[in-house]
Chains A and B, each alone.
Chain A
Amino acid sequence: MIKAEQLSKKYGDKLAVDQLTFEVKPGIVTGFLGPNGAGKSTTMRMILGIDNPSGGRVTVNGKSYRDLAAPIQEIGALLDASAVHVGRSAWHHLNWQAKAAGLATRRVDEVLELVGLNDVAGRKVGGFSLGMYQRLGIASALLGDPPALILDEPVNGLDPEGIRWVRSLFRRFADEGRTVFVSSHLMSEMELTADHVLVIGRGKLIADMPIAEITQRSNLNHVKVVAPQAAQLALLLESAGASISQSVEHELIVSGITAPAIGEIAVQHGIVLHELAPRRASLEAAFMELTHDSVDYRAAS
């Protein structure tokens, strides 16, 4: 369980993380979403005691990370897969971590086997592909067999087979009752991985909800209605509290009311409907809508 209270981080006068309060619960995969520069990595570094908060606090299993006696046995992390000494072998890279954490050397072989790098264990990391770096980073997160995992953009650079493997790994971890906290800047990735999402933008928490709820709440959800008496129907719908965003000949784009409710109103007033189609906003679109106001760097269009 990871718990942040009013967590903030300032770099100079720029507020990178602005009073975040959230909980990451065990037994599910929690996605951490936001555009680049939103403060995801900074938040993760504060969780891991690498960066010190400027305000508020964050705890892992009730303790501040730096007070954990055996930290990598409580929470395993992958922050930056390329943060390895290129002249060191994969095996030694894991072995120094195992030694520092008081873990048996046997554990190094176990995690290398688990991520499928046992054949290249003795090779220098410098010759690894992007995907192999990522697997090595995941191996290092799993080293302490921790009840919680925290991973920053873990699927970056993985091939499709690797991505599927990572997703099933997270699922299995969550099903075993562990805490899994995964960041991404891609909503489409989260759609396939996460049960719950935290969305941040410019360091602020924008949403904290089950993934299904994001699309339900989106203003982009609407119903397309085609009716010969469209103008009459539009008036009736507006008086029922709906808003008409578009009206072209016989076609209406209606939001703020469900499709069944529109059908009922039409029947009551004897209006013929030719088409009644709910349009669910895609997660990608819902995400763009949520974070639209908080993107730091955007291409001119």
Chain B
Amino acid sequence: MTATTEPLREHAGDRPAGGRSAGTRSIGLSSTIASEWIKLRSVRSTWIILFLAVALSIGLAAMFSFVEGLTLGDQSSIDPLSSSIIGMQFGSILLMVFSALAVTSEYESRTIRTSVSVTPDRWRLLTGKMVTVSAIGLILSLIMVLGMFFASQIINTAYGAPSAALGDEGVNRFLIVSIVVGGLMYTVIPLSIGFLLRGTASAVTISVGIFLIPRMIASLLPTWVQENVLGYLPDKAIYSLSGIIAPSDIYYASQAPAIIAIIAWIVGAFVIAGIVFNRRDA
């Protein structure tokens, strides 16, 4: 390894000497997004997690439909939409791991310090990361939801069980909400928590907990809480809006409040992460 000793200022002609400000005009949110995209695509773990998310979610949905078809005598009891979204249990967890890692890996390798020295505007850094990670989340969510939906419907049809098709009543709403709201919630919330907690294990645990724990302990809670609180937690709000939770269900939140709850979760997570990140030593 020999170091060259040629002049450092090979490109000095590009900018005025001394002032060095000519290169600055192109720096903005788009630079931050481009940089964040390079960070994500240049490590193998990103691709492994995203591949597993797609493979496991679609695989699980297909397997669930398959087992349902085999074991159920009265096949009309199958809800073709619920069985297709079941794979999201896995898909969402992997998407959350991916999103939390997008920032916790920076804290754990201490590259966050380089990031804030290259981009000292921390709101811009946070926004750039959010935009990049949630865009990937939306694309992935699109692949997973459509993949699970079609895999389930093909298997249901093969067993002669009820199946759904694009354009059927409630199907488009189900797909759009699952793709868009799921894609955003499963990325923005864990990424924000990653900024707050700075460790992968804790951020993933808390994120998954926010989505799954209410589901697990719901029946143990007082009825008032079940009726008035659980419906606005991320998990139930998505399912109320997508139509998986029926209006007759105790956890149901009607559309407008569910939308408001979802927006509050996304904006709230982003703002809290931003305020803390901006104030704290990196």
B104-121 interface code vs A (CB 8 A; 1 in, 0 out):
011001110111111111
B280 (CB) vs chain A CBs: closest residue: A52
Bound state CA distance, A92 and B26, in angstroms?
Answer: 20
Verify A74–B8 contact, CB threshold 8 A: no
From B34, B121, B281, A66 is in contact (CB under 8 Å) with B121
Least distance between A207 CB and chain B CB atoms (Å):
28
Verify A72–B118 contact, CB threshold 8 A: yes
From B1, B110, B121, B282, A117 is in contact (CB under 8 Å) with B1
Interface centre among B3, B34, B36, B113 (most CB of A within 10 A): B3
Considering only residues 1-50 of chain B, those with a C-beta below 8 Å from chain A are: 1-6, 8-12, 18, 20-21, 23-28, 31-32, 34-36, 38-39, 42-45
Q: Count how many pairs of residues, one from A and one from B, have CB atoms less than 8 Å apart in the complex.
A: 140
Verify B118–A73 contact, CB threshold 8 A: no
A51-82 interface code vs B (CB 8 A; 1 in, 0 out):
11000000000000111111111100101101
Known A-B contacts A51-B282, A85-B43, A96-B35; the reply to A77 vs B8 at CB < 8 A is no
Q: What's the tally of chain A residues with a CB closer than 8 Å to chain B?
A: 59
Verify B120–A65 contact, CB threshold 8 A: yes
Verify B282–A50 contact, CB threshold 8 A: yes
Verify B10–A110 contact, CB threshold 8 A: yes
Bound state CA distance, A142 and B11, in angstroms?
Answer: 13
From A79, A87, A92, A110, B38 is in contact (CB under 8 Å) with A92
Bound state CA distance, A73 and B117, in angstroms?
Answer: 11
Bound state CA distance, A97 and B106, in angstroms?
Answer: 13
B119 (CB) vs chain A CBs: closest residue: A100
Verify B18–A113 contact, CB threshold 8 A: no
Bound state CA distance, A85 and B101, in angstroms?
Answer: 12
Considering only residues 135-152 of chain A, those with a C-beta below 8 Å from chain B are: 135, 140, 142, 144-147
Verify A51–B109 contact, CB threshold 8 A: no
From A48, A89, A113, A115, B117 is in contact (CB under 8 Å) with A48
Known A-B contacts A85-B105, A100-B35; the reply to A116 vs B8 at CB < 8 A is no
Interface centre among A106, A114, A146 (most CB of B within 10 A): A114
From A66, A85, A102, A173, B109 is in contact (CB under 8 Å) with A85
Least distance between A54 CB and chain B CB atoms (Å):
10
Least distance between B201 CB and chain A CB atoms (Å):
18
B1 contacts across to A, CB distance below 8 A:
116-117, 119, 132, 135
From A70, A86, A145, A146, B27 is in contact (CB under 8 Å) with A70
Interface centre among B27, B42, B117, B120 (most CB of A within 10 A): B117
A79 contacts across to B, CB distance below 8 A:
113
Verify A83–B113 contact, CB threshold 8 A: yes
Bound state CA distance, A172 and B5, in angstroms?
Answer: 10
Verify B282–A87 contact, CB threshold 8 A: no
Bound state CA distance, A173 and B78, in angstroms?
Answer: 73
A101 contacts across to B, CB distance below 8 A:
23, 27, 31, 118-119
Q: Flag whether A292 is at the interface (Cβ < 8 A).
A: no
Q: What's the tally of chain B residues with a CB closer than 8 Å to chain A?
A: 48
B9 contacts across to A, CB distance below 8 A:
145, 176
Q: Flag whether A45 is at the interface (Cβ < 8 A).
A: yes
Q: Flag whether A49 is at the interface (Cβ < 8 A).
A: yes
B3 (CB) vs chain A CBs: closest residue: A116
Verify A71–B118 contact, CB threshold 8 A: yes
Verify A89–B27 contact, CB threshold 8 A: no
From B8, B36, B38, A114 is in contact (CB under 8 Å) with B8
Verify B120–A83 contact, CB threshold 8 A: no
Known A-B contacts A65-B120, A95-B38, A116-B4; the reply to A102 vs B111 at CB < 8 A is no
Least distance between A97 CB and chain B CB atoms (Å):
5
Verify A96–B39 contact, CB threshold 8 A: yes
Bound state CA distance, A100 and B30, in angstroms?
Answer: 8
Verify A50–B118 contact, CB threshold 8 A: no
B25 contacts across to A, CB distance below 8 A:
102
Verify A102–B42 contact, CB threshold 8 A: no
Least distance between B209 CB and chain A CB atoms (Å):
27
B28 contacts across to A, CB distance below 8 A:
102
B110 contacts across to A, CB distance below 8 A:
80, 82-83
Verify A99–B31 contact, CB threshold 8 A: yes
Bound state CA distance, A140 and B111, in angstroms?
Answer: 12
Verify A114–B3 contact, CB threshold 8 A: yes
Bound state CA distance, A113 and B109, in angstroms?
Answer: 25
Least distance between A156 CB and chain B CB atoms (Å):
16
Since A48-B113, A102-B31 are in contact, a sample of 19 more A-B pairs with Cβ atoms closer than 8 Å, ordered by chain A residue number, is A45-B113, A49-B117, A65-B120, A69-B27, A73-B21, A83-B113, A85-B39, A85-B106, A86-B109, A88-B39, A88-B42, A100-B118, A100-B119, A101-B27, A101-B31, A113-B4, A116-B3, A135-B3, A147-B18
What would 26 A/B residue contacts be, using CB atoms closer than 8 Å? A49-B116, A50-B113, A50-B281, A52-B279, A69-B27, A70-B20, A73-B20, A73-B21, A73-B24, A79-B113, A83-B113, A97-B35, A99-B35, A100-B31, A100-B118, A100-B119, A102-B23, A106-B11, A110-B11, A114-B4, A116-B1, A116-B4, A146-B20, A147-B20, A168-B5, A176-B8
